[in-house]
Structure 1
Amino acid sequence: MAETQAPWTQPMPEAQFAQMRDILAAPSPIGLEGAMTYGVLKPYFESVARPGWHVHQFTGHAGIVLDSHPGETDRFTVMVVGHADKIRMQVRSIGDDGKIWINSDSFMPTTLIGHEVAIFSENPDAPGDYRRIEGGTVEAVGAIHFADQAVRSGEKGIKKEQLYVELQIHGENKKQQVENLGVRPGDSILLNRPIRHGFSPDTFYGAYLDNGLGCFVTAEAARLTAEAGAPEKVRTLFAIASYEEIGRMGSRVLAGELKPDALIAVDVNHDYAAAPGIGDRKPNPLKMSEGFTLSVGSIASEQLNAVIESEARAHDIPMQRDVCGADTGTDGMAGVLGAVDCAATSIGMPIRNMHTISESGHTGDVLAATHGVAKAIQALDRRDDGNGKLRREFRNNHPRLDRAEPLQHQGGEKPKDESE
């Protein structure tokens, strides 16, 4: 494929960026993912689906799955899964002075100070109905003048127990003013920062790239697959899971319900090359702007990885290998955790500042992941014959290291660049 034809080498079209922003902006804290799944993604799935495709819905959670061949369990089945749940803060208690004391969940407390948030208050008179309260910020010491000297100098940090939301409450009965808003312990709080274009070309930043990006890639892969007229033989499940941030709970339910033969998780990854202070750990230097990442580790299927890597090479889609060890850290573990026999792997996009209000990424990596997933699905569909061939191939062709060929020293000459 000529570079001029490769979407991952071009700026993301503004309409596509707006779709990505809408997905990431949907308020979908853990346990309340419906704003993203039902509010944004379900209508999008329905708009790109081919005739006969079906969107599955579930009872215990707000996950959804776009199914290319509903009910056809005899087909080789591929599940692509992103997770809609966002890490959230929650109201812990309300002080007499109107402070709303909160927990920090999976955020570092120091990264939260001064940032705007939205509180989602459940109506106590109508359980299940929610109101949105904006204008609050996360605080801890109020002002540097009131902080201990060690905190002021940076020798000590902010403790999670110090965090509260400031709603600028004043006057009489401050606690009652907050309670009259219906704010109660357990209410969800989200950072109020939609993504926007970054300073450097093709970059963007904001909150909750983890894991609206994986959901966006899953949705766009569904669109590309449908537009390509595939899949004809392979059943494909484009899944949006819940509960990933508390242990990959939602995806294991989806895998248990639908029993895929192969599972590809799509999630964010780290730009290790730009991460400060970790050089002595010698991580593989994954880099933002250099393509999607592919997990290599204990549970990552080498057969499935071979399909993805081969297609990436064939179409000049940039890809980086990610050493994940015993756990991908993503919904790629869904099959193992759900006791489902499936080949699995995880695709990622290197981002910076994960679990902060200023996560940043590169649109080229997002588009590379999108096309990498779509091309892999099309390749699997081409390899199947509709009579169980693909299942047999995966079962009978596990890599055999006892058959590895001896390799001699290859010298120090660099491989010639084919483009030269």
Structure 2
Amino acid sequence: MANLSHPWAEPMPDSQFQLMHDILAAPSPIGLEGAMSHGVIKPYFESFAPAGWAVQSFKGHAGVILDTHPGDDDRFKVMVIGHADKIRMQVRSIGDDGKIWINSDSFLPTTLIGHEVSLFSEDPAAPGSYRRIDGGTVEALGAIHFADPKLRSGERGVRKEQLYLELHIHGADKKKQIEGLGIRPGDSILMNRPIRRGFGPDTFYGAYLDNGLGCFVAAEAARLVAESGGAKNIRMLFTIATYEEIGRFGSRVMAGELRPDAIIGVDVNHDYAAAPGIGDRRMAPIEMGKGFTMSVGSIVSEQLNRRIETVANNLEIPMQRDVVGVDTGTDGMAGVLGNVDCAATSVGMPLRNMHTISESACTRDVLACTHAVAGTLQALDKEETQPGVLAVAFCNNHPRLDSAQPLKHPGFESD
């Protein structure tokens, strides 16, 4: 029987895994995120939202926000942000031999070769209507027989300019065959690899865990809050942002529009312990399967971090500290980038093979992050015993290192 008091220590139920699958499988390349935000998450929000909660949409992008107290700007506002946009390839040009030359965006070119993809093409005769082409693969070299010795040995890699989409076109007028399909420069291409459960216990793998997982956590944290009685004292903004992969532009717009008092960005992180070839960099010892991650450093609010860590300790949720430098690299930066005064931090889940077709993670880490976010929101809601308490606390209780207590070595005396 599942340990209901510690769901992060148990396998993820099949129904919850299916929701995560559906969120991650939604085709939502940058600029075309509506399949995930409006197609999957918005209906899910509406399925459990209590009376009075509302979903807000935006004009310039397909982001959505589930708002517990729409229009109530006097309440302390906490924004939880995941991003729905996926990195994608795009058509650059079409060759006379039927090759569709593409860009690699934020993928390593060598990780793309041979993998199946889906091309999404806007119908030239019906702007706004899209068609999907499956069955193509990304190629660059053709057969090994045509590769020079340095490519065969690995001394030289694949350049991004060599990548093309193979649609197996043959016969006369290959370029015209492609153009006749309405494929044009700029069309989006996505990896075709939905997630599935992995071989290791409580693992899963596939494409685009970055960052449908953050959206899943935001959505499930909203459900947990709703099922536990809702938000009584603070305003919670469960946010599905866009444009993160090109500079976190969507989240900064949302922060600018709603002006939250606190932001919790939810994104994926690296399993540094398993990352090949970086042992000499002395990275933070973050590992898949050991809990969610919390950023320290950069612009993060130590007050907000303290509350998250307190919740994790009280609930016995496993947590790992991630060291960030000048930038969290996530939507946790939305307030600073949007010129909004707010306390902010970033939490996440360790991944292996980020920005590949075989990203992998542990469901227990995802559940740990979900319950830590929900628990922190509920703790903040209880802390706001009367209007203004949290605002005053965050303004007046910044840590003071000039009050730090001297620490001495305890010596070697036995107990």
Normalising by structure 2, what TM-score?
A: 0.98
Q: 2: distance between equivalents of 1:126 and 1:384? A: 52
Query: 3-state DSSP class of the match of 1:232?
Result: coil
Query: 3-state DSSP class of the match of 1:91?
Result: strand
1:176 paired to 2:176: yes
Corresponding residue of 1:85: 85
Q: 2: distance between equivalents of 1:164 and 1:410? A: 64
The one-letter code sitting in structure 1 at the alignment partner of 2:235 is R
Q: 2: distance between equivalents of 1:276 and 1:29? A: 28
Corresponding residue of 1:275: 275
Corresponding residue of 1:263: 263
The one-letter code sitting in structure 2 at the alignment partner of 1:395 is C
1:363 paired to 2:363: yes
Q: 1: distance between equivalents of 2:104 and 2:413? A: 52
1:245 paired to 2:269: no
| Alpha-carbon shift at residue 3 of structure 1 (Å) | 6.1
Query: 3-state DSSP class of the match of 1:274?
Result: coil
Corresponding residue of 1:67: 67
Corresponding residue of 1:158: 158
Could you report, residue by residue, the CA deviation over 1:248-275 in whole angstroms, capped at 9, with x for unpaired residues?
1000000000000000000000000000
Q: 1: distance between equivalents of 2:243 and 2:152? A: 37
1:224 paired to 2:224: yes
The one-letter code sitting in structure 2 at the alignment partner of 1:61 is H
Q: 2: distance between equivalents of 1:252 and 1:386? A: 29
Q: Is the 8 A contact 2:284 2:322 kept in 1?
A: yes
| Alpha-carbon shift at residue 410 of structure 1 (Å) | 2.9
| Alpha-carbon shift at residue 88 of structure 1 (Å) | 0.3
Corresponding residue of 1:141: 141
Q: 2: distance between equivalents of 1:122 and 1:413? A: 74
Corresponding residue of 2:339: 339
Deviates more, 1:226-235 or 1:367-376: 226-235
Q: Is the 8 A contact 1:85 1:245 kept in 2?
A: yes
Could you report, residue by residue, the CA deviation over 1:86-141 in whole angstroms, capped at 9, with x for unpaired residues?
00000000000110000000000000000000000100001111000001000001
Aligned 1:243-322 pairs, distance under 5 A: 243-322=243-322
Q: 2: distance between equivalents of 1:108 and 1:407? A: 47
Normalising by structure 1, what TM-score?
A: 0.97
Q: 2: distance between equivalents of 1:266 and 1:407? A: 34
Q: Is the 8 A contact 1:87 1:106 kept in 2?
A: yes
Corresponding residue of 1:94: 94
Q: Is the 8 A contact 2:119 2:189 kept in 1?
A: yes
Q: 1: distance between equivalents of 2:411 and 2:347? A: 33
| Alpha-carbon shift at residue 230 of structure 1 (Å) | 2.6
Could you report, residue by residue, the CA deviation over 1:175-216 in whole angstroms, capped at 9, with x for unpaired residues?
111111110000000000000010011000000000010000
Q: Is the 8 A contact 1:75 1:386 kept in 2?
A: no
Q: Is the 8 A contact 1:81 1:241 kept in 2?
A: yes
Alpha carbons of structure 1 residues 149 and 412: separation in structure 2 relative to 1, 3 Å? farther
Query: 3-state DSSP class of the match of 2:345?
Result: strand
Corresponding residue of 1:327: 327
The one-letter code sitting in structure 1 at the alignment partner of 2:24 is L
The one-letter code sitting in structure 2 at the alignment partner of 1:299 is I
Runs of 4+ in 1 over 4 A off after TM superposition: 411-414
Q: Is the 8 A contact 1:263 1:345 kept in 2?
A: yes
Q: 2: distance between equivalents of 1:205 and 1:412? A: 47
Q: Unaligned regions of 5+ residues in structure 2, if any?
A: none
Q: 1: distance between equivalents of 2:216 and 2:4? A: 23
Q: 2: distance between equivalents of 1:4 and 1:345? A: 28
Q: 2: distance between equivalents of 1:300 and 1:359? A: 27
1:25 paired to 2:29: no
Query: 3-state DSSP class of the match of 2:288?
Result: coil
Deviates more, 1:385-394 or 1:397-406: 385-394
Q: 2: distance between equivalents of 1:159 and 1:12? A: 40
Q: 2: distance between equivalents of 1:169 and 1:387? A: 66
The one-letter code sitting in structure 2 at the alignment partner of 1:269 is N
The one-letter code sitting in structure 1 at the alignment partner of 2:287 is K
Q: 2: distance between equivalents of 1:190 and 1:230? A: 37
Q: 2: distance between equivalents of 1:245 and 1:123? A: 26
Q: Is the 8 A contact 2:307 2:376 kept in 1?
A: yes
Corresponding residue of 1:350: 350
Alpha carbons of structure 1 residues 158 and 377: separation in structure 2 relative to 1, 3 Å? same
Query: Percent identity among equivalent residues?
Result: 72
Q: Is the 8 A contact 2:3 2:10 kept in 1?
A: no
| Alpha-carbon shift at residue 65 of structure 1 (Å) | 0.3
Could you report, residue by residue, the CA deviation over 1:50-92 in whole angstroms, capped at 9, with x for unpaired residues?
1100000010000000000000000000000000000000000
Query: 3-state DSSP class of the match of 1:308?
Result: helix
Q: 1: distance between equivalents of 2:91 and 2:17? A: 33
| Alpha-carbon shift at residue 148 of structure 1 (Å) | 1.3
Q: Is the 8 A contact 2:299 2:333 kept in 1?
A: yes
1:205 paired to 2:221: no
Query: 3-state DSSP class of the match of 2:357?
Result: coil
Q: 2: distance between equivalents of 1:137 and 1:204? A: 23
Q: 2: distance between equivalents of 1:362 and 1:92? A: 36
Aligned 1:96-135 pairs, distance under 5 A: 96-135=96-135
Query: 3-state DSSP class of the match of 1:269?
Result: strand
Query: 3-state DSSP class of the match of 1:38?
Result: helix
Q: 2: distance between equivalents of 1:93 and 1:114? A: 20
Corresponding residue of 1:382: 382
| Alpha-carbon shift at residue 293 of structure 1 (Å) | 0.2
Alpha carbons of structure 1 residues 269 and 411: separation in structure 2 relative to 1, 3 Å? farther
CA RMSD of aligned residues (A): 1.3
Q: Unaligned regions of 5+ residues in structure 1, if any?
A: none
Q: Is the 8 A contact 1:224 1:374 kept in 2?
A: yes
Deviates more, 1:384-393 or 1:190-199: 384-393
